[in-house]
Amino acid sequence: MNERRPDHVYGVLLLGLMGIGLSGIFVRYSGAPSLFTATWRLGFTVLIMAGMFTLRRGWGELRGLKPAQAAWCALSGICLALHFTFWFESLRYTTVAASTVLVCTEVLFVAVGDVLFCKGRMSAGCWAAIGISLVGSAVIALGDGALGGSLEGALYGDALALAAAFFVGAYTLIGRVQRASLSTNTYTFVVYSFCLLTLLVMDFATGTPVVGLPLREFLPPLALAVFSTLLGHSLFSYCLKYFPPAYVSAVKLAEPVIAAIVAVPCFGEWPTAATVAGGALILLSLLFYTRQEAAR
């Protein structure tokens, strides 16, 4: 049962959406290995949050973390690490819009998982809204394919993006359960810490360097940490206390619209007519979903 929603929570959702909408742009600016970018994104995030905990003397709840809570946070962190790794790599094989659209199919994994494992309920109108938004996503992806490039590479990038969608869906569902008993700061700090540890293990296993690269390669992960993690994922984790996880994931379906718009001045990737049409469908479906959720 979701708590009474404060008036500002919709604004928090919008700010979080803007944060994750920029993530694909920051990743594309990086010339470093995907694991390097993901590792330093979480490294900067954990450092910033540790400083915040120290200044606010907020370590008390962390010390009271139960073993079961820590275990679920660890699993959530592993899922998030796999999400970042697969998605960052997909952006090397396909466009920002196409990759972001496929990652946003997270909403399907979350909706089904919420019903199967979390005793969630969704009205027919909510399912219809998700269906419409996925049609819009498909329109964008098909239109984006006209930009050219290797078909084999594009399909590989698509598969990586879908894998990333599955793992971020699992991360969202775990967050929905754990946020019932943990504050946003505690939950996200523990999850991000486990995510960082997972990425470091993957760096070691694959021989990926985490130091020694030019200074400019540390700027994209820093931007990702501030805008896309702390002002993106963390704000969505906060909203999981007030909204069903399927709704929070559905809001993320507007991410490709933001990514496609910002990619124009950054990379000259002009949106096609299909991107515009698909984006309109996504935004209309989100408006419909919001009305359905408010009515329920």
SS3 sequence, 115-129?
HHHCCCCCCHHHHHH
Among positive and negative, which fits the CA dihedral 201, 207, 212, 214?
negative
Q: What pLDDT is stored for residue 244 in this prediction?
A: 78
Give me the mean pLDDT over the 225-232 stretch. Answer: 90
Query: Is 4 part of any domain?
Result: no
Query: Is 280 part of any domain?
Result: yes
How sure is the predictor about 151, in pLDDT bands with cuts at 50, 70 and 90?
low
Buried b or exposed e, range 282-293, using 16+ CB within 10 angstroms:
beebbebbbebb
How sure is the predictor about 78, in pLDDT bands with cuts at 50, 70 and 90?
very high
Note whether 24 and 259 are within 8 A (CB). yes
Q: How far apart are CA 185 and CA 293, in angstroms?
A: 26
DSSP assignment of 222-279, as one string?
HHIIIIIIIIIIHHHHHHTTTS-HHHHHHHGGGHHHHHHHHHHHHH--PPPHHHHHHH
Query: Is 250 part of any domain?
Result: yes
Query: Is 63 part of any domain?
Result: yes
Most confident of 89-93, 140-144, 252-256, 260-264: 89-93
Q: What pLDDT is stored for residue 57 in this prediction?
A: 66
165-169, 190-194, 204-208, 247-251: least confident range: 247-251
Nearest residue to 236 via CA among 223, 251, 225: 251
How high is the mean pLDDT of the chain? 81
Q: What pLDDT is stored for residue 226 in this prediction?
A: 93
Q: Can you read off the two tokens belonging to residue 116?
A: 């199967």
pTM: 0.77
Cα–Cα distance list, 123 to 109, 128, 129, 214 (Å) = 17, 9, 10, 51
Query: Is 157 part of any domain?
Result: yes
Instruction: Report which of residues 145 and 4 the model is more confident about.
Output: 4
Query: Is 2 part of any domain?
Result: no
Q: Can you read off the two tokens belonging to residue 224?
A: 């990702």
What's the N-to-C CA distance of the chain in angstroms?
A: 12
Query: Is 1 part of any domain?
Result: no
**Which residues lie below 8 Å from residue 99, measured CB to CB, with a gap of 6+?**
24, 87, 90, 91, 157, 158, 161
Nearest residue to 230 via CA among 47, 94, 56: 47
Domain that holds residue 18: 9-295
Q: What pLDDT is stored for residue 146 in this prediction?
A: 43
Give me the mean pLDDT over the 47-75 stretch. Answer: 83
Query: Is 290 part of any domain?
Result: yes
Tens of pLDDT along 6-29? 778 888 988 988 888 888 788 888
Q: What pLDDT is stored for residue 242 in this prediction?
A: 84
| pLDDT score of 2 more than 50 | yes
Give me the mean pLDDT over the 33-39 stretch. Answer: 91
Q: How far apart are CA 154 and CA 139, in angstroms?
A: 16
Give me the mean pLDDT over the 195-203 stretch. Answer: 96
Instruction: Report which of residues 213 and 245 the model is more confident about.
Output: 213
Letter for the amino acid at 252?
K
The total of structural domains in the chain comes to 1
Geometric angle at alpha carbon 139, from 138 and 140, rounded to 5°: 90
Q: What pLDDT is stored for residue 145 in this prediction?
A: 52
